[in-house]
Amino acid sequence: MSHTTIFALASAPGRGGVAVFRLSGPRAAEALRSLAGRDLPAPRTAQRVRLRHRDEDIDDGLALMFPAPRSFTGEDVVELHVHGGRAVAAALSDALVSLGLVPAEPGEFSKRAFLNGKLDLTRAEAIADLVDAETAAQRRQALRQLDGGLAALADRWRAELVRAMALMEAVIDFSDEGVPDGLVGEVGRAVMALTADLQSHLVQGQRSERLRDGIHIAIVGAPNAGKSSLLNRLAGREAAIVSSVAGTTRDVIEVHLDLHGWPVVLADTAGLREAAEDVEAEGIRRALARAEMADLKLAVFDASLLPAWDGPTRSMVDADALVVLNKADKSTMALPAELDGHPVLALSARTGDGLDGLLSVLEQEVSTRYAVSAAPALTRARHRAAVEDCLAALGRFDPVAEIELAAEDLRLAAAALGRITGRVDVEEILDVVFREFCIGK
């Protein structure tokens, strides 16, 4: 338990109907008594209070008391609901500081909840994800994790390893009398089954991480193909400069879209060609790098230049690319239905014709590629690293070679898994988890 009592504005700063202050720690109740000048409200029951400090009225509001240990942090927690104005928040903060309370660090409430055994790390992370969720799919994924899906999975994997470790102990006990083959075989089979399970979740985890961070789509093509025009159409605003001058776009321009619940980061890039000068060459270098890291590419061609297909753009068309034929309004010939085995999506960024077709294909692509099954998912790089460390230890595991070393590999594998929920090796990962929190959570 912590000795300091922390407080924070838990609702968004600025003007608003109601602002919620959260206090946690041994002096939370005393602070409330001092401000409200009366008996504490019954646990978990809202009570109207007049908050005063040093003979100065601060505000009328509601107070709630959550006595330890039945609170979010496991400590005494007080919630003050006041009017959501900057001056009220400032006066209340000043009063709390003068009563000896300390402004909370980002994530400190959740960190205390973790340290007091109220939350495991995956649930703490899920709270941060839920706060940050911008689309329905992100919200659902975070909520599943908050419900403990990932924690339960990590615990089940650990339980399987602990069982394998127990079998190894038996093998070691027997080793003087010659190791029974059956036992060694059983440990080996358990390790193999777990390895397969972990590997399949790593693949799924890649998708879940993308969902958290947004699916990256890059628009690539020759100068003047209409990439920036297409970006603006999809974004519904003039995010990028459009002009008839080839080589207009230099930097990568990102817009965030909600594609039917899927979070997408759409990037416009510089036109691909043998660059005339340094700045454009740097732009093209960035375009290629962005295309490389993207999950999907929109390869944009100019329909008015057919039957010639731009060479550099054509070389970008692969399994992760959609072929877009822009400026369909400008073409008088019948447009081809495919290029190199890829269906062609004809459209006009100028008139908007064909845009719905592109959007529905995009939605389909994104949802089949990144559909998150109901199974708990490894949503962060941190989870993946733990599973990869575990797999590395299991990969070294060889019960036939040297028994003590094999037992140590199992122990390392279990420790790696424990890092997912934070049941072991806690200190080193705490800061990584909690520093991305906002204050008051």
Q: Per the annotation, where are the binding residues for K(+)? A: 224, 243, 245, 248
DSSP-assigned beta bridge partners for residue 52:
57
Strand (E) or helix (H) holding 326: strand 321-326
Lookup: tokens for 361:
């294909």
DSSP-assigned beta bridge partners for residue 80:
21, 63
Residue 145 lies near Mg ion (rule: CB under 5 A)? no
Residue 326 lies near K ion (rule: CB under 5 A)? no
Lookup: tokens for 289:
């790098």
Q: For residue 294, how far is the Cα from the chain centroid?
A: 17
Strand blocks (E) in 186-312: 215-221, 253-259, 262-268, 296-302
Which residue, 227 or 380, is less far from Mg ion as judged by CB?
227
Residue 224 lies near K ion (rule: CB under 5 A)? yes
CA distance to 161, 169, 170, 184, per residue, from 179 (Å): 20, 11, 9, 8
Report in angstroms how near the CB of residue 271 gets to K ion at its nearest. Answer: 7
Known binding residues for GTP are 224-229, 243-249, 268-271, 326-329, 348-350
Residue 228 lies near Mg ion (rule: CB under 5 A)? yes
Binding mask 229-248 for Mg ion (x = CB under 5 A): -------------------x
- Nearest residue relative to ligand GTP (C-beta): 271
Binding mask 306-345 for ligand GTP (x = CB under 6 A): --------------------xx-xx---------------
Lookup: tokens for 314:
């054509």
Q: Determine how many CB atoms are found less than 10 A away from the CB of residue 348.
A: 21
In the list 249, 326, 379, 421, the residue contacting Mg ion (rule: CB under 5 A) is 249
Torsion angle defined by CA atoms of residues 406, 409, 415 and 419, in that order, rounded to the nearest 10 degrees: -150
Residue 349 lies near ligand GTP (rule: CB under 6 A)? yes
> How many whole angstroms separate alpha carbon 217 and alpha carbon 291?
8
In the list 5, 228, 313, 379, the residue contacting ligand GTP (rule: CB under 6 A) is 228
Site residues, K ion (CB under 5 A): 224, 248
Site residues, ligand GTP (CB under 6 A): 221, 223-229, 242-244, 246-249, 270-271, 326-327, 329-330, 348-350
Site residues, Mg ion (CB under 5 A): 227-228, 248-249
